[in-house]
Amino acid sequence: MRFPEPGTVGPMYVKLCGLRTGADVEVAVDAGADAIGFVFTPSARQVDPDTAKRLVAAVPPEVLTVGVFAGVSAREAGDLAVAAGVGAIQLHGDYPHEAFTALADLPVKLIRATSLKPDTDLRVGAYGEDLLLLDSPIPGSGHTWDLDSDTRLEGEWLLAGGLTTTTVAEAIKRTRPWGVDVSSGIESSRGVKDHTLMRAFVTAAREA
């Protein structure tokens, strides 16, 4: 799968999240996305385990499939992820270190997704995760966070929150992330992916 080893320098890593249909997946893969996210949490983007399993089966092995979870236990997230066959589990929110420890033995990558707070541990891998994702305080809302922050991260981390085809280049310039993640910024309406925007976002991120 497209998930470079730590320390690898390469093109901007791009994750397209909140996909719900076979057409969404087909376009994401064709556009060159490195990772595809499926949301299991109740929302306009939620997919049930059976749908997720069917969509995951259509994704080539070089593209990372991610199950996105919030508000459920680590055990439940692990069970659902294994049932769906995703390659990574993204725990979104204030999950403790113990939650990631509980999932460490599963054959999946672990992604710690959180917002930037005064007490946020910004060390990639601090909770045993493979990848850190920094999102706005309201995930999936399209809201941005303070891109002018003096905080600078090192390692494999993704920038998320309010990114669009027109803002991603400037956001990358300001924060220098290893990769970017987008959901609402590639939608025609909440939960409905715009295939033209999906392609344009991947291009804009890579060109930045």
Partners of 90 in beta bridges: 68, 111
Is 170:132 a contact under the CB 8 Å cutoff? Answer: no
Partners of 42 in beta bridges: none
Give 18's DSSP letter.
Answer: -
Q: List the structure tokens of 101.
A: 């420890």
CA-to-CA distance for 163 and 171, rounded, in angstroms?
8
Residue 31 burial (CB count, 10 A): 18
Helices (H) and strands (E) in the chain, counts: 6, 10
Q: Give the residue numbers annotated as catalytic, written as ranges.
A: 17, 135
CA-to-CA distance for 125 and 130, rounded, in angstroms?
6
